[in-house]
Structure 1
Amino acid sequence: MTASFVNSVSTALIATLLSMALAVPAAWGITRYRTRTGRLLMAGSLLVRMAPAVAIGIPLVTILGAVGLTDTPTGLALAQTTVALPLSIWLLASFFEGVPREIEEAALVDGCGRFAALLRVILPVVSGGVAVTAIFAFLASWNEFLFALLLTSIRAQTTPIAIANFQSQFGLDWGPMTALATLYSVPAVVLTLLLQRRIVAGLSLGAVKG
């Protein structure tokens, strides 16, 4: 059970970091430049989010198997990023929309490049929104079941699969299953409590303009 818990943590962290690293520049570019390509990217991310996971999972099994990443936390994290990334882009785009252009222009006048302005000025302003997005990306990976079922067997098996394995031909072993499920919920609860202030700030970002 310890191994499955470690796999869940490592997979969720990798998927969250990948999602945020890709979603931040994508969402910022979409909201600032407002090009047709950006609008198509937003629509494409929504379509990917709406697609059934099984429609994506089966091709991913073939692709990751061809590069030797099945039954590894890295391979599973890459698969789960396909779920977390579209959601992250949509959330971050809504937060970036509330940032006035004048803030970026002031940073550019002071000598920052666009990337430096994003890192040093814009991201601190929307840090609450980034925290909210990171939480949702983490939970999307933390609670994911189908990809873990399709892409893992022994080495990279996550806790949701371990919980499901308590079912046998004689029925469900409710005691250990409930205990493990309760323990598995603790990290998500603790993470949410630690980032509570950031989450509240992020949810209220842009709610009042004056």
Structure 2
Amino acid sequence: MDDVRVVLIGGTSNVGKSTVARAVAERLGFAYRPTDLLARHPGRPWRTPEREVPPHVAEHYRSLDVEELIESVLDHYERLWPRIEDLIMLHATATATATATATATATGSGPGTGLVLEGSALWPSRVAELTVPRAAAVWLTADPAVVRERVHSAGHYATATPEERHLMDKFLARTERYQILMTQSVDRLGLRRIDAGGGRSVAQLADAVLAATARR
């Protein structure tokens, strides 16, 4: 891992990308960043104590079928890709000069430090086209039942209204369809993926990611 400066972790929603990516970043002393911070697509359509579902998000899931939801999110990722590529290039090609190192130390995200970037926007075919040095990628997958349980728990599905359940069901249908398409692309391109739903701890999954990216 000594020469890797960017670790990319892709996968569908609620598969554990954020948790694992933070653990990997801590291990490596790298900055952590989700692609969602670059530009957000309509996200989770369930309320939490801190957040109500915005009307446009509810309408998005209510009005589109699964294939339209997939088309919408993949179009969003395609528009976002140039910004992702620039971010990867910035960290992968940076020279760790004294100035860059000082900036990274002060901000935790300067170009002189490494980066762990995670998100569903890391579409396999786009990542496979990268020609930047010192970057490695892996995708996380999980059995649909695992993802479904996580969404149901987060959205309090058992006590949700019929409308709230409908929105969660649409989100899950999109999430499961995305994973099928993503896995097919990963396998076709000969890229690496890890089952994140097999009962392994976060530390064990971080170990697996580090091992996989070391063999890039």
Question: TM-score w.r.t. structure 1 length?
Answer: 0.28
Task: Identify, as 1 or 2, the structure richer in helix.
Answer: 1
Higher relative strand content:
2
Which is bigger in relative contact order (C-alpha 8 A, separation at least 6)?
2
